[in-house]
Every structure is written in structure tokens, then in C-alpha cells.
Chain A
Amino acid sequence: MLIAVLIPLIFAIIVPYLSKFKQKVHTGIFVFFIPFSIFLYFIRFVGSDFEPVRQTYNWIPSLGINFDFYLDGLSLLFVLLISGIGSLVVLYSVYYLHVSERLGHFYLYLLMFMTAMLGVVLSDNVFVLYTFWELTSISSFLLIGYWHYRERSRYGAQKSMLITVFGGLSMLGGLVLLSNITGTTSIQAMIAQVDVILANDYLPLIMAFILLGAFTKSAQFPFHIWLPDAMEAPTPVSAYLHSATMVKAGIFLIARFSPIFSGYEWFFIVVSIVGIVTLCWASYMAVRQTDLKGILAFSTISQLGMIMAMLGFGTGAAVFAAVFHILNHATFKGSLFMIAGIIDHETGTRDIRKLGGLFTFMPMTGILAIFGTFSMAGIPLPFLNGFYSKEAFFASTLELESTGNAIASFLVEAIPYLAVFGSIFTFVYSMYLFFGVFTGPAKLDKLKTKPHEAPIGMLVSPFILVLGVIVIGLFPNLFNGTFLIHAAEAVNSTVELEKLKFWHGFITPLFMSLAVVGIGIVFYLTRQKWSNIYHVLPGKLSFNKVYDYIIKKLDDVSAKITDSYMTGSLKTYMTIILATILVVTTFFMVVTGGFTISTDNLAEVTFIEIAVVLVITIAAIATIFTNSKLGAILITGVVGYGVATLFVIYRAPDLALTQLVIETVSVALFLLCFYHLPKLRKRTEKASTKLGNAVISIGFGALMTIIAISAHSTDWFEPISNYFIETSYKLGGGHNIVNVILVDMRGLDTLFEITVLGIAALAIVSLIKLRHDKEAK
């Protein structure tokens, strides 16, 4: 299975080379064989005696990250969709994309996506699943941005990436939590420990993390906003990624984790609400769209919401209906996207306001569209698969039982009505899609080209999909026992195989369907009259605006925040740094009781020491108040000489000497530089600023003093200096301990201190010479 998953990616590497021959052979023809052979490889697993297959290939066993492929019924359904629809889409793209396009890039991304998507549905290892999951986001980003010279493409690509990667990262958080709790990285092993997970205090968080991943990927309300903008991608991509496969990854994830979460009441509540709200909102919004692909995008969102809701219901019947609808949706929606592409290709526009009466020009396309749209609308006809799953959906909404929670009870009552409500609009836009494009007066003057029937090659793929619609419609039980039941069982083990029938008698779901059709027709015919409602809802309210607002604010607010403290003023920086250190260190000192003072170990203080220290202190304070440069330097010199005097008092003549030399040299240097330095300005600061600075400075000084006293007041250990005293002559051969320390005991320090001086000298040479050279030029 590893090969089957990776082969598109491997093939993707040579695609750019194959695209060099695109003038002779369309690159898509080579590519077609990849998904098609994968389809053939997996189709042999279909059968009533199917048993899950597991294969493991090591990757990073130390972290438990391995390619654990697990092919169960659910994976098989998706794998066949990915490879099957994939083959048809590639075939379709051969006619859709002209050889002048960058075919190498296109198929590279598409193949990358195929590997990613196969990986998502086959991985049992959560982190490998996450890896492939992000890869789907990346390839989707690249495909949406395929025509990146268009502003809208860039916008759509960025939007989809931000929203889906956001969800992916959130999902990662949930997966890490799950693997921490269960001690395994395998989903199946997690399912086996469902009790442990359900007993964990952080269950709501885990579920929220995972659901965010699923909802963003499957474009659920309110994260659906990226999908309409993803329609900037070439149409084969929209049909494939943004309708049939990638957007179902979230559905897949929910289905995969259902055995874990279905025992948790809030899972039902959240997933059902989000699903049903998405269904209603998106189908309501779809009616308003004018772009064919826009209608289809919202329609996809709403259908995904419907599947999501059924997974939320979690009952055997609902899960089976969900799985069934995944298959059905792929057939009719895939064909409709391709038809939209054909119309765009042959008329030069996708704007439904400019289209009409195309049936006479494109009868073949029109016939295919009838099946696609009517199936989507769920019209009760025995040769449309959409009706069966729609009816199963209605039936499942009626079977819900309350668990006692007030919200849950309310939901159980409300869901059937909402289901009908959403489906009415589904009916309306389906009719609009067909009749608006294919009937009525033709508006040829608005089209750039005279419409004509599509080449036969372009019709093959949608034809095969429509064939699927009809075959499943006529023989709804064709795949049940061998295929769909295994998929449903993987989600809910209590699923029972029921025979699907067209006619159940006069039962409630049928009335619901009839109500949808009846009210739908009225709504469709009167749509001009009530379309003003869109000014009220959503009106100005739009989640797109929220997204745009956030993105704009991200830039603006971050700039504002950053500019507010990155002032470029050293004084501000130092104030913040000192204040932070002061506050935090003081806090720690207080909390840990760090202050100690002990006078045990002190020598007697003499008068002369007091005098010197006083001079130093006064001089140090005086530097702040002087306005003359010369004065400041000289007073600083006083401090230095004072310190040197202290060294003399403590009988450290070499230190005193060093200090004196340094002081003298630096004062002399300063005086030399004076000529070039600007005058000191009289500081004009507000009194409050001055006060603040004073508090910080004095506080910082006090803190340092207190720490110094405390550090000195400990006598826990014997300092290592005694060793130096003992061994200075014995091992170092010198009576002057300081000298021995400098050149021998800690010779490495000295070596590198010299290096520091050397670098400084070199730096100054470099700086001066560079300036000099520049001026010379």
C-alpha cells in the first residue's frame, strides 16, 4: 500500500520532464494512468467478505511515527473515490487545459494532492495522518493559486491556506492529547481505549481541537468562507479537491473518530448543530450566487453540512445514509462541476445572468445536467441516486432520540424542520442552475463566443459520473452489501444492512420530500419577489468580512503594537529592560525570602574608607546633574580614582595600578574626542518621566546592593580561592597569586580576553579604514 500511496508523488517528480513533450502528447494522458491503476489496485478489495488490511512501514519508530496503513471499509470508500474521480478528472483536464498552460506544474500539484489524500484516508497513525493532512492543504493552496497572476487567485489561495492550516494545527493539538492519554499513535488502538478517553477531564478540549480541524477542512459554518474563493482554481481542481475529495477529509476525520466520541453527548450536539446550520445557511446562500461555480461551491458546503449532520446523529441509519451520500454526492456534484467547466469553456462565461437557452446549442451537456441537478435536488424519481440518500437523511432526522440534555431534546425536535428548510433551498438552486442556464431566451449578445457543443472527450468524464447517478438510482442496493456496509460499520458497528427501496409507502420522509418539491417550486417561481430578503440576511453581515477584517487588522494592529514599543529610542528600551528586571527579580527575592544580612564576617570600617566611599558616591551622583561634558568626564574620573584608592587600602597594588592607568587613559581619550562630539543638550522631560526614571534607577541600585549583601552574607561553603593560595607556589611556581591565576590557573580566560582586545583593535582599524577609503573615493 505504501507504493500505492507514494506512486503519485514519485511520478510527480518526472512530470515536469514529461511536460516538455506537451506539444506532442498532452501531459495529462501520462498522468491518467496513475490514478487509474490505483483504482484498479484497490477495486479488487471490494466484496462482501472484505476484511480490514493492515500494513506497517517504519519511519520514525522512536516517536511512534510510522506508516501504519489501515484499509477498512471507510478507507476503501474514500480510496476508490480519490482514485476513481481522480482518473475522470485527469481525463477531463486533458481537454480542459490547453497545452499552452503550465501543465507540468498543474499535474505535479495534482499528483502531490493524490498522495496526500490517499495518505489521509489510509493512515492509522495520527501523526502520519496529520502529515498528509497538511500536504493536502499545501497542494490545494498551490492549485488555487495556479493562475497566480490573478488577484482573486492569490486571495483565495491565501485564505484557504490560513483557514485549513489553522484547523490542521488545532487538530494536531487534539491528536497529541489523544496520543498522550492513550500512549499510542494508532487510531484503532485509541478506539480500543475509548473508556480512558471518555473519562479524561480534557475531553471537551480534545473534541474541540479535532472538530475544528474537521470543520475547517470540510468548510463547515462559519469556516465555509474559504471554499467559494477556492473556485478560482481551474475547474478540474474544483471538481476534484473542492467537491469530491479534499473537502470530505473533515467528514472522514469525524467518521474515523466517531467510535471514540459518539459516546459523548456534546459530540452529537455540536456536530449536528454545525452540520444542520451549514446545510441551511449554504443552501440559502447558494440561491443568491450568480457564478455557476459559486452556486456549486455553496451547494457543496451545504451537502457537506448534511453529511456532517448525519454523522453527528450517529445512529446506524444516519451513518449508513451519510456513507451513501458521500458516494452519491461525488457522482452528481462531480458531473455538475465538469458541466460548469464545459459551459465556461464553450461560452466564455460562468455568469448565470448572461447565460440561458443553451439547450439548443449544447443538447448533450444539457441532458447530463438534467440528471445532475435533479439528483442534487432530491426529486423523487427512481433513477436518481440523490433522492435515496435525501430520503434516508429525512428518515434519520425522525429517528433521533433525546438523551435528556435540554439542548439535545430541543435539537431532536427542531432538526427535521431544519432539514426540510435547507432542502427547499437546495431544490431552488438546483432548478435555477438547470433552467437558468439551459432554458429561456438565449442571450448571445452577452457572450464573447457563439456557444457550441463540447468536444466528445470533455463529455466522457461527466457522462461516466451521470451514468453512476442513474445506475445507483436504478439499483440502489448494488454496492450495499459489498461495499457501503463495510464503510458504515467502520463508523458505527451497530449498522444493519437494510434494503433501499424507492417506494416505502406513504411515510413521513416521503411527505417531507414532497413538501420540499412543492414549496421549492413555489419558491423557485417567485424568487424575484423574495430575493430582497438577502438585503436583510445576510445583508451587511458576512463572515467574509470578518475574515478580511481579521487579516487587515493583523497587519494594522500588529504594526501599531510593534511601533508603540519599538520606538528606536535607546532610553525607552533601557527603561523597559531595567523596570522588568527590577520588578521580576524583586518579586522573586520576596517570594523566596532571599534577603539575608550578616555582619559576622566583616572587617572593621576605618575612617579613611568611609571618606573615600563618600567621595565616590557624591561624584557618582554629581555626574547626573552636570550639564557640561567636561565636568561629567572629570567627575567620572573621580569615581575611578576613588576605586583605585580603595584597592590601595586593601593592599592590591597591581589592581590599583591597572585602575589608575585605565582611568587616566580613558579620561585622556575622552578629552581628545571632545572636539568631534555634539554638545550635551539640556534635558527637557516631563516631571513624571523624570520621577519614573529616578524610581527605576534608585530601585535597581538598591536591588543590586541588597543582592550583593545577601550573597556576601552566606557562609555555606568554603570558597575555592583557598586552593589557589595553597597551590600558587607549589604547582604554579609563583608567589604572586593573582599573576598565577591570570597566566596559569585561568590562562584560558586571559588568552581570550586578549583576543577580545585584539578583535576590538582590528574592528577599529576596519571601521576607520573603511570610512577613510570611502571618503577617498
Chain B
Amino acid sequence: MSNLVVLPIIIPLLAGVIVALFNKKVAVTRTLTKLFSILNLGVAAYLSWIVFTTDSIILETGEWVAPYGIILVADPLASLLVLTTNIVAVACAFYAPHSLSLRQETHYFYAFYFFLITGVSGAFLTGDLFNLFVFFEVLLMASYALIVLGGERIQLRESIKYVLINLFSSILFVTAVAFIYGAVGTVNMAQIAERVQIQGQDGVLTTVAILLFFVFATKAALFPLYYWMPKSYIVPNTVVSALFGALLTKVGIYSILRVFSLIFVHKLELTHETFIWIAGLSMLFGVIGALSTNNIKLIIAYNIIPAIGFILMGLGVFNQDGMSGSVYYLVHDMIIKTALFLIVGVIAYVAGTSDLRKMGGLIHYYPGLGWLLFVAAFVLAGIPPFSGFIGKLLLLQGTLSEYEVVITIIALISSLLILYSVMKIFIRGFWGEKDETGKYEKKSTKGLIGPIVYLLAFSIFLGVGAEWIVPSVESISTYLLDPEIYIESVLKE
């Protein structure tokens, strides 16, 4: 049973190797990719089912007992995120063949895609801080490969910044792990938590915690460390942008959620209070960025930043509703960001440009696409009855029960501006006079719309059918607020 935990990591790893071997036969790799993605989704769903109906699953790899060996922990949060990752991955697997050029496909796109999933799933599932670093490397290396895939000049220019800043944060990561090992003599997260608790987060521990926060904040694209993100996310193919937008920054914010709910929770008035400020600034500067541009892909990329701010805000107030809100919002945002990237990808394709100023009246040719964008905009802004609303409501309940008024007002204003930034695409791009010059000759959107509909269906379900999800998310929140459960389930002494 406990070997189940490793499957969401091993299946994509093997799949990646296999599709790399069949690289020349595009038809085969496409089919294999779809099959493996669905298989992995099934496994992730089964894993979540087991975890939510029974208990967390712990795997001590190589039979080396905790805390000495590497421990994989499928707790409710990790399995929910692995499941969401695979929901998103399936959409991208089906979208990719219609979006990528043949040259990109035959240059190992699908292999890198699977390695990315490997790294992301591993990062969610590991219970070992150094192992987390290793999985970060896996997903980053895959992302380096994906970002330059295509070899355009602009890709290379933006990717060099992306690689260098991420390398820097990786160095800082491994240094911080060394500091932690130096201070508490272990890298097992449960044991670190236990030892930090005994020591009351004294001495250098809070300093190291903040260092670790900055490592993750760089990956999560929080204020003021996100400079690498917006432009580097829009240079690769849309499907790569979607994967990045959905997964990479989310691994960063997940790590913050994990480390600052499990380990460093003994100086809340310092650490978590700071998070609230950083969350607020991320929201503001994120939406300001989203409003600053007419590039539709960049609008969506900037919108990643306020979303991460929302999630951090829930952690900042650190109460039941706030944490539930963070988790709900995290899942919601992974899905809707993917959907939006895929949508703007299609828009840029049919309009032949990413520049909003050169578009107009698209709805006369692509009504379905327009309405998908319309719905997605409201999902993103957290308008009921969609998924974003449930997350936002929980977050607001969390902040307002602590009377954190300033951050609440910032969050509300950000919601409005988020809506405005995306509705701009609808109003200026889709509305307007019918273009008769033949600029928008009907292009085939075959295969591109299906994955978007599939993702939006999840977003709507997460809102309308929230009753099926909310109790699980609230149990995750309870679980996160009580580190003892995690510590005991891993160390079980």
C-alpha cells in the first residue's frame, strides 16, 4: 500500500524516458503522452481517495526508517495538490499537439513535460527538506529545457535571466538547508519541526526560516522577488506557459505553506505578520503589472502574482478559515491559470497577435472562445458561484476575523482590478465591429477548445459543487494548524 506514494513520481519519470526513446515517431509519443497522463491522473485520484478516506500514507524509501532515510508523505494537502497537478497536466497533454510546432514536439517536448510533472509531484510528496531541493532541481531543469524549446532569440534572452535567478535561489536553498542541519542536526521535516518546537524557534532559527522563505518566495514569484517571472513565462509556447503558470510558482507557495505551518510556527507575530504585508504588496504590484500591458499573455502572467499573494495572505492570518482559503485558492488558481493561459494562447493564435490594440470584434468569428474567456475572467476574479469565490470568501473570513482591515481592502480592490485586467481582453478584443477585411479568416481551433472546457468545468464544479470539497479542505486546514499530527504520523514514536 505505502508504495502507492511513489507512483505519481515514478510513472511520469518512466513515461518521460519512454517518450524520449520514441522521439521520432510523433504519433506514438502523442498517444503515449495522453495515455500516461490519464494513467497518472487515475493513480493520483486513487491516492487522494485513500488518503482522504483513511489516513496519510508514509513511505520510508529503501526501508530506512524516519527520520534517517528519505520519507515520502502523502498527507491530505500533498495528495490534493498532486491530484490537481495531474488534472492540469492532462489538459496540457491534449492541448499540446495542437499548439506546438512539429519541431518542438520532436525535440523532446513530451519528455520534458513528464520530467516537469515528476519534479512537481515529488516536491509535493517529499517529507525531507534536502529531497525537496532535489525535486526543485528536477522541475527547474525540465523548465529550463522547456523555456528554450524553440530556440527563438527572445526565448534565449529571457531564459538566461530565468536560469540565473533560479540558480541563485537554488544555491541559497541548499545553503539554508545546510544552516538548518547545522542548527538542528536533521533534514527530515517532521523532525525539524519537532526540534524547532522543543527549542521554541530560538536563536538563529527564525533567521534561517526567513532565508528559506526568500528561497521559496523567489520561486513563488512574490513581491519583490518576481522580476524573472512575467516575461520569461510568456516567451515559450502557450502550453509551456500554462504548465509554468499552473505549477512552478505553486510549488514555491506550497513549500512556504508547508514549512511555515509545520516547522516555523513559534514566532507568528514576526514571520506571519510580515507575510501579510508581503501578500498585500504582491497583490498590488501584481495587478498594477497586469494593467500595465496590452500583451494578453503578459496580462495573465502578471495575474499569477496577486493570486500567490492571496494564498500567502491566508497563511499570514494563520487561522482555520484563512488556511482553508489558502488551500482552496491554491487548487482553484492552478486550474484557472492553466485555463486562462490556454485561452489566451488560442486568442493569440486566431488573432495572429498578442497585442490587444490590434484586436477587435473577434466574437463575430469565435463566439465560443469569447464566452470561455468571459467565464474564466469571472472565475479568476472570484465572482460567485465559481471556484475563486469559495477560496476568496474563506480568505476574507480569515482576515476579517482577525480584523486585518487593510489587507482585506487591498484584496477586494485587487479582485476588482484583476477582473478589469482580464475583461479588458473581452471588451477590447472580442467586442467591436465585425472585421470584414478578412484579417480573421476562420482558423481551425480543433483540439484546442476541449482542454479549456474541461478545466473550466472543474472551476465551475469547485464553486457550484463546493459542498463536496469544502469539508476536505477544512480538514486539511485543521491538519495544517496542528503540526503534531504530521510529526506523529512520520516519526510515530
Contact = CB atoms under 8 A, between A and B. Distances in A.
Contacts of B148: 763, 767
Given A127-B393, A707-B179, A154 B431 contact: yes
B228 A573 contact: yes
B227 A592 contact: no
B396 A752 contact: no
A759 B168 CA distance: 19
Contact of A755 (B118, B270, B293): B118
A172 B104 CA distance: 47
B51 interface: no
B89 to A, nearest CB: 17
Contacts of B115: 755, 759
Contacts of A727: 68
A439 B389 CA distance: 54
B384 interface: yes
Interface stretch (A298-306, A365-373, A553-561): A553-561
Nearest to B179: A711
A745 B207 contact: no
Interface residues of A, number: 100
Nearest to A561: B288
Nearest to A556: B292
Nearest to A589: B207
Contacts of B142: 759
A205 B420 CA distance: 25
A148 interface: yes
Contacts of A718: 185
B409 A594 contact: no
A577 B199 contact: no
A173 B415 CA distance: 12
Given A554-B291, A708-B182, A718-B185, A131 B137 contact: no
B384 A708 contact: no
Contacts of A771: 151
Interface string B376-404: 00100001110001100110110011010
Nearest to B419: A165
A596 interface: yes
Nearest to A763: B145
A2 to B, nearest CB: 14
A37 B148 CA distance: 62
Interface stretch (A55-63, A258-266, A339-347): A55-63
Contact of B70 (A59, A704, A748): A748
A202 B112 contact: no
B399 to A, nearest CB: 9
Contact of B397 (A148, A176, A572, A710): A176
B355 interface: no
A134 interface: yes
A173 B396 contact: yes
B203 A596 contact: yes
Contacts of B420: 162, 554
Contacts of A720: 67-68, 185-188, 191
B467 A762 contact: no
A685 B198 CA distance: 50
Contact of B161 (A62, A127, A570, A762): A570
B107 A766 contact: yes
A576 B267 CA distance: 26
Interface stretch (A446-454, A465-473, A486-494, A579-587): A579-587
A766 B149 contact: yes
A166 B466 CA distance: 25
Given A180-B400, A746-B70, A770-B103, A62 B467 contact: yes
Interface in B157-193: 160-161, 164-165, 168, 172, 175, 178-188, 191
A356 to B, nearest CB: 34
B416 A166 contact: yes
A568 interface: yes
A183 to B, nearest CB: 11
A157 B205 CA distance: 54
Given A60-B466, A176-B393, A718-B185, A555 B291 contact: yes
A303 B426 CA distance: 34
A170 interface: yes
B224 A580 contact: yes
Nearest to B433: A149
Given A769-B107, A770-B149, A577 B227 contact: yes
Contacts of B134: 748-749, 752-753, 756
Given A585-B207, A585-B214, A173 B412 contact: yes
A711 B393 contact: no
A607 to B, nearest CB: 26
Interface residues of B, number: 118
A202 B191 CA distance: 42
A759 B143 CA distance: 10
Contacts of B389: 131
Given A749-B134, A766-B149, A759 B141 contact: yes
A169 B403 CA distance: 17
A130 interface: yes
B207 A707 contact: yes
Nearest to B215: A581
B432 A148 contact: yes
A753 B137 contact: yes
A762 B20 contact: yes
A755 B150 CA distance: 22
Contacts of B70: 746-749
A157 B195 contact: no
B208 interface: yes
A148 B431 contact: yes
B79 to A, nearest CB: 19
A60 B186 contact: no
B185 A719 contact: yes
A588 B267 CA distance: 11
B481 interface: no
Interface in A167-193: 169-170, 172-173, 176-177, 179-180
A90 to B, nearest CB: 24
Contacts of A566: 227, 230-231, 289
B207 A594 contact: yes
Interface string A733-750: 000000000001111110
Given A176-B400, A719-B181, A59 B467 contact: yes
Contact of A158 (B69, B403, B427): B427
B471 interface: yes
Contact of A180 (B135, B138, B378, B397): B397
B211 interface: yes
Given A554-B291, A566-B289, A594-B203, A131 B384 contact: yes
A593 B131 contact: no
Nearest to A590: B207
B158 to A, nearest CB: 9
Given A173-B412, A745-B62, A747-B70, 6 more contacts: A63-B390, A562-B293, A594-B206, A596-B203, A716-B185, A720-B191
18 contacts: A131-B384, A148-B431, A172-B393, A172-B396, A172-B412, A176-B397, A557-B288, A584-B214, A585-B211, A585-B214, A711-B183, A712-B182, A747-B70, A749-B70, A753-B137, A759-B112, A762-B108, A763-B144
Interface of A: 58-63, 65, 127, 130-131, 134, 138, 145, 148-149, 154, 157-158, 161-162, 165-166, 169-170, 172-173, 176-177, 179-180, 202, 205, 554-555, 557-559, 561-563, 565-566, 568, 570, 572-574, 576-577, 580-581, 584-585, 588-589, 591-596, 704, 707-708, 710-712, 714, 716-721, 723-724, 727, 731, 744-749, 752-753, 755-756, 759-760, 762-763, 765-767, 769-771, 773-774
9 A-B pairs with the lowest CB-CB distances in the bound complex, closest first: A719-B185, A763-B145, A148-B431, A711-B182, A131-B384, A710-B204, A562-B292, A594-B207, A573-B227
